[in-house]
Amino acid sequence: MSTSDEVTALTPGGPQRVEVLGAEFLNTTVKRFTLSRPKGFRFTPGQGCMVAVDSDGWRDKARPFTFTALPGARTLELIIKIYDEHQGVTWRMRTVGKGDHLLLGEAFGTITYKGPGVLFAGGAGITPFLAILRQLHQHKALKGHTLVWSNRTAGDVFLDAELGRMLGRHYLKTFTRENVIGFRDRRIDRDDLVQLVRDFDQRFYLCGPESFVTDLKALLLDLGAAPESLVFES
């Protein structure tokens, strides 16, 4: 999916033009955008849409991103990891700010909430879980949910305080590239899962880079998780 035709195809009547009401960095590479919400624009937590920057040379380059605000909020929110290595859409988003405009396609499903369980996020793969957890928090229904968030380094973490407040000891962080005292410092392996999960007869949500999802899926199945208990973007 990468052209404005796809934004248009996904959106009867054409893409929605929204204004950037606010933009701020949550760490050096992750940026939060607050957007105006078109009348009647609906989504459920876990859904995203195709997004293009409404400026010359960029309208035909749409990429998928996930809504992170509550579905009832007056504004929309996107949290976007910027890749600076090449001049793609996220590189362009680094300089998008208040008063600029984006083009949004129709909301489509990424991860659907199906009940309590363990949520495994890799890096920016946290975004669908943010919307889901925020809604569960609003409904005081977070009991029975654990978030395991894997990042390269502690500097990649964002919204740490909010996640800690929501989930308390059910918010676990792992790092793959940094030796941080008090945290484990490698990819999640079989032994980690046995320690972290204990009960494999529950639901597991997976979102992140392809290798992260593939590896965890294989480990969870091997440890006895039922295939139908795994929720991931396919």
Q: Is 31 in the site for ligand FAD (CB under 6 A)?
A: no
Number of residues near ligand FAD (by CB under 6 A):
19
**Residue with the shortest CB distance to ligand FAD:** 88
- Return the closest-CA partner of residue 148 out of 194, 188, 198: 188
CA gap 115, 144 in Å, rounded: 9
* Residue 176 backbone zone (phi > 0: left; psi -120 to 50: alpha; other: beta): alpha
DSSP secondary-structure letter at 168?
G
CB of 166 to ligand FAD, least distance (A): 18
Q: Is 64 in the site for ligand FAD (CB under 6 A)?
A: yes
Among 34, 66, 135, 174, binds ligand FAD (CB under 6 A): 66
Whole-number CA gyration radius for the chain:
18
Do residues 56 and 102 touch, judged by C-beta distance below 8 A?
Answer: no
Coil/strand/helix, residue 21? strand
Closer residue to ligand FAD, CB minimum distance, 166 or 233: 233
Stretch near ligand FAD under the rule CB under 6 A, chosen from 63-71, 131-139, 181-189, 215-223: 63-71
How far does Cα 60 stand from its chain's mean position? Answer: 23
- The interface with ligand FAD within residues 80-119 (CB under 6 A) comprises 80-81, 83, 85-86, 88-91, 110
CA gap 117, 201 in Å, rounded: 10
Closer residue to ligand FAD, CB minimum distance, 2 or 8: 2
Q: Is 220 in the site for ligand FAD (CB under 6 A)?
A: no
Instruction: Give me the residues that bind ligand FAD (CB under 6 A), please.
Output: 48, 63-66, 79-81, 83, 85-86, 88-91, 110, 124, 127, 233
